[in-house]
């Protein structure tokens, strides 16, 4: 099996970081930061998975108003950065590499998450139509407050500040979450962005916010430490894009001169847009492959195929990493694999978090 899968275990240069293999641990929300800060259990969880070529953390809010779910971690204070240092130290001690995903959820939020009870922010005052889980049950996402130009400038600075805290916390880099219906994609998507100023309307205007965030963060910490995640054609959290091919062609051409560490695509079908991005993007491409959007979790075989076909340089895998802390070794051995337990995905204690057995155990 190791000989069959050898392409997945070839080293890969990503920015200034050399990955020992092309198996990336995808970002996965686990909702175990009850005080908005990570802890020793978080450090154990990520260190167990240090055999990944690269770990990308769960979505981490760059500001108070950027939070979209209960018990998710932040990176907007010195105390939070110090807590994350315990995670990065543990991962590095285990031989791993780790980027933090900076995720501003935009309109995917609720006043109950924020100390001042504010409305969540978004490019336009359009609700998701979805709901959020709370300890008291589900609540509707409210109609968000449309961001002013001052709000937009402040949010760009929030991303920069969080990236600087990430460097202070010892991360190898940051991933900007521009996918899955969160703030950056809310600006990109014409279904959620009805603005009439320089941030709305034309494709060139709708990519402006993503461009400003990527450029500002790259200027602050170096582009070799910055990746971005995209999900062309995704309808997550109620977003819609009328022309994904045209949108992402423009975005990739806008970002290409910055020499970012990578682009990370979460496919929801639209393989033709993945192929377009592959052709347009001059750097490293990480793919979470779902050709039709209906496939189950990414398998080692699917990962191998897209690398072997040249569609991606590395592959991100989600639930298999969640349930198999030594996934790299299991792939080399041809399995077997632990089965993920969905009932423990979000919230709780060590169960379904740090207690999945390794192959040797």
d(CA 209, CA 192): 14
SS3 112: helix
The pair phi, psi for residue 133, each rounded to 5°, is: -80, 135
Specify whether 258 is catalytic: no
Query: How far apart, in whole angstroms, are the C-alpha atoms of residue 137 and residue 253?
Result: 43
- Residues paired with residue 229 on neighbouring β-strands, in sequence order: 177, 264
Cβ contact 170:85 at 8 Å: yes
What are φ and ψ of residue 203, in 5° steps? -60, -40
**54 - beta bridge partners?**
24
Longest dimension (CA), the chain: 59
Spatial distance between the Cα atoms of 186 and 5, rounded to a whole number of angstroms: 38
- Residue 138's DSSP bridge partners are 133
Distance CA 220, CA 224 (A): 11
Please report, for residues 143, 233, 310, the alpha-carbon distance to residue 176 in angstroms, rounded to integers and kept in the order given: 24, 18, 24
The residue annotated as part of the active site, out of 46, 165, 182, 353, is 182
Rg, C-alpha atoms of the chain: 19
The CA distance from 73 to 134, in Å, is 16
Q: Hey, which residues are catalytic here?
A: 182
């Amino acid at each position: 099996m190791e000989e069959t899968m050898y392409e997945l275990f070839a080293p890969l240069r990503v920015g200034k970081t050399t990955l020992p293999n092309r198996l990336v641990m995808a970002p996965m929300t686990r909702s175990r930061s009850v005080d908005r800060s990570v802890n020793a259990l978080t450090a154990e969880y990520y260190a167990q998975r240090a055999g990944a070529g690269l770990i990308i953390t769960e979505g981490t809010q760059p500001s108070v108003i950027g939070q979209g779910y209960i018990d998710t971690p932040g990176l907007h204070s010195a105390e939070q950065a110090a807590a994350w240092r315990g995670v990065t130290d543990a991962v590095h001690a285990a031989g791993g590499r780790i980027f933090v995903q900076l995720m501003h959820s935009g309109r995917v939020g609720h006043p109950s998450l924020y100390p001042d009870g504010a409305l969540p922010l978004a490019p336009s005052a359009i609700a998701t139509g979805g709901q959020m889980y709370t300890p008291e049950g589900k609540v509707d996402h409210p109609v968000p407050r449309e961001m002013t130009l001052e709000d937009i400038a402040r949010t760009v600075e929030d991303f920069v500040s969080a990236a600087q805290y990430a460097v202070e916390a010892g991360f190898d880099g940051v991933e900007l979450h521009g996918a899955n219906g969160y703030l950056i994609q809310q600006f990109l998507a014409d279904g959620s962005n009805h603005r009439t100023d320089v941030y709305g309307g034309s494709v060139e205007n709708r990519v402006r916010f993503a461009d400003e965030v990527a450029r500002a963060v790259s200027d602050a910490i170096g582009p070799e430490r910055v990746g971005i995640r995209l999900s062309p054609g995704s309808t997550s959290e109620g977003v819609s894009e009328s022309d994904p091919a045209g949108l992402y062609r423009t975005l990739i051409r806008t970002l290409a001169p910055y020499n970012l560490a990578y682009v990370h695509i979460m496919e929801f079908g639209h393989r033709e847009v993945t192929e377009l991005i592959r052709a347009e993007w001059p750097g490293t491409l990480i793919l979470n492959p779902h050709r039709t959007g209906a496939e189950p979790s990414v398998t080692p075989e699917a990962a191998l195929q897209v690398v072997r076909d040249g569609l991606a340089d590395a592959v991100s895998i989600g639930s298999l990493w969640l349930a198999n802390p030594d996934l790299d070794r299991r792939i080399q051995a041809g399995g077997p694999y632990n089965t993920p337990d969905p009932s423990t995905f979000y919230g709780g204690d060590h169960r379904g978090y740090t207690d999945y057995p390794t192959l040797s155990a």
